[in-house]
Chains A and B, each alone.
Chain A
Amino acid sequence: MSPRLTALDALHRALGATMTDFAGWDMPLRYGSEREEHLAVRTKAGLFDLSHMGEITVSGPQAGELLDHALVGFISALGVLRARYTMICREDGGILDDLIVYRTADDEYMVVANASNAQVVLDALTERAAGFDAVVRDDRDAYALLAVQGPAANAILSSVTDADLPGLKYYALLPATVAGKQVWLARTGYTGEDGFEIFCTPADAEHLWHALTEAGAPHGLVPAGLSCRDTLRLEAGMPLYGHELDTSLTPFDAGLGRVVRFDKTTNGGDFVGREALEAAAAQAEAKAPRKLVGLVSEGKRVPRAEYAVVDAEGNPIGRITSGAPSPTLGKPIAIAYLDAAHAAPGTAVAVDVRGKHEPVEVVALPFYKRAR
């Protein structure tokens, strides 16, 4: 199957991007140095094409009730024009995907799924919609998604829109006109910085990319690829599906039990996975078998996904889920699931880097938190 191309494909190629297959999409991995793109987002701003993300619109009188039933969050309690980080789980509590849900109207929500899981989420929502007066619509082809992330994002956006940016809080959205185009402008992101995600029609994507590039030039905005997006989210301690999250894990395993809202009042409080998740919550409360932690190395070797974590005697005590050289810290960092006995910050452990044990220290997540 040939890869899917975003509306900005020709532009990425003209910019000399290194492209990569990501969940069936041909996406820009980096335009030049991923380290420089990373640092630009931390200190100035980066412009991303995230059109591979999967938009699903849920609308109708019972759209909120449907999402309360299908997802672990209390979605109907979300205010109009607000967003929420949430998850969709199986009946056994296993995570199918992590999501951002935007309430776009009183009776309409936009669910944004990871590209790799968009079909799974669409199928699950469609199946779970049975009996609800709500419609689930595949809007993957209806939107392109651009993101401007970094401390200069606010200044850049303010030069191309009259939207009330000071009034647009983190995890909120607005219907807005940006560079003359109608978009959904959301203050969300996956970098640990202030920033915006701009949902537009594919036809408007190129115009918006050029307008944002021009507006961003005086602020040091650079095009930024998926490679730096991964190191940015890793530093910010944000999970990535397929790494920190998968169907064998519950939100409680991942230390994200807070997204599960047992206090929902809709549908009699019931939702898909409730029973299993209550058991997972009780276990996490009593004695979590393992914990998701950060690791920092003083060495140069990079702990990478699937490498084993070992104790002083070389016994396996966990596994790495993500790892990279951290451009901000200047050291290799990783996220790992560790046996609870070794998971306290400050604990000295080691990573098996192709047979060699590299010492690392357990730290609390995130590795990086922006000054506000």
Chain B
Amino acid sequence: MSNPQNLQYSKEHEWLTAADADGVSTVGITEHAAGALGDIVYVDLPAVGDTVTAGETCGELESTKSVSDLYSPASGEVVAVNEDVVAEPAKVNSEAFTGGWLFKVKVTEAQADLMTADEYTAFTGS
């Protein structure tokens, strides 16, 4: 698997796009994380309008074997959530970097220690 070069990555295995013209970034979990969790069966996301804080939990991902906290890699207001993955959680496994995105946030501040794709690849040893 390869981690897209255009994304930033957190140690908690979330990815974050560069902000668009409106200052909005998209958040998801990496293919590495989705693979480690196994089949994801339930996704609990923040609601549109919620304020999330960089490095803090903002939801849960439940797989066959475990429940994992979802951490936000940026602070700001949630402006959209991916209803497709709520309806079909397996999409997080099959399209972690694309159709399996989780939510969009109008970023006030990104997490301080985000990594580049190469740094994250080295971090996960994959």
Contacts and interface: CB of A to CB of B under 8 A. Distances in A.
Nearest to B89: A300
Contacts of A301: 42, 62
A304 interface: yes
A35 B39 CA distance: 7
A324 interface: yes
A227 interface: yes
Contacts, number: 35
B99 interface: no
5 contacts: A18-B36, A29-B65, A34-B38, A34-B65, A302-B41
B41 A227 contact: no
Contacts of B93: 33
Interface string A16-44: 00100000000001100111000000000
A299 to B, nearest CB: 9
B67 interface: yes
A51 B64 CA distance: 23
B35 interface: yes
Contact of B42 (A29, A30, A34, A302): A302
Interface in A226-274: 227, 231
Interface string B16-49: 0000000000000000000110110110000000
A354 B42 CA distance: 14
B69 to A, nearest CB: 11
Contact of B38 (A18, A300, A302): A18
A325 interface: yes
B49 to A, nearest CB: 21
Contacts of B64: 34-35, 227, 231, 324-325
A236 B86 CA distance: 29
Interface of B: 35-36, 38-39, 41-42, 62, 64-65, 67, 90, 93
B37 to A, nearest CB: 10
A300 B87 CA distance: 10
A202 B78 CA distance: 55
**Chain A interface secondary structure, helix, strand, loop or mixed?**
mixed
Given A35-B64, A325-B42, 14 more contacts: A18-B38, A29-B38, A29-B65, A33-B93, A227-B38, A227-B65, A300-B41, A300-B42, A301-B42, A301-B62, A302-B42, A302-B62, A304-B67, A325-B41
Interface string A351-366: 0001000000000000
A355 to B, nearest CB: 12
Closest 7 CB pairs of A and B: A325-B41, A35-B39, A300-B42, A34-B64, A33-B39, A34-B38, A34-B39
B85 to A, nearest CB: 12
Which of B38, B41, B64, B65 has the most chain A CB atoms closer than 10 A to its own CB? B64
Contacts of B65: 29, 34, 227, 324
Contacts of A324: 64-65
A18 B35 contact: yes
A53 to B, nearest CB: 21
B16 to A, nearest CB: 26
A34 to B, nearest CB: 5
Contacts of A30: 38
A162 B36 CA distance: 41
A299 B62 CA distance: 13
Which of B35, B65, B67 has the most chain A CB atoms closer than 10 A to its own CB? B65
A152 B93 CA distance: 29
B60 to A, nearest CB: 8
B57 to A, nearest CB: 12
A22 to B, nearest CB: 12
Contacts of A354: 67
Nearest to A36: B39
Nearest to B42: A300
Which of B36, B39, B67 has the most chain A CB atoms closer than 10 A to its own CB? B39
A324 B65 CA distance: 7
A5 B93 CA distance: 28
Nearest to A304: B67
A35 B93 CA distance: 12
A335 to B, nearest CB: 16
Nearest to B65: A227
A227 B39 CA distance: 11
Contacts of B38: 18, 29-30, 33-34, 227
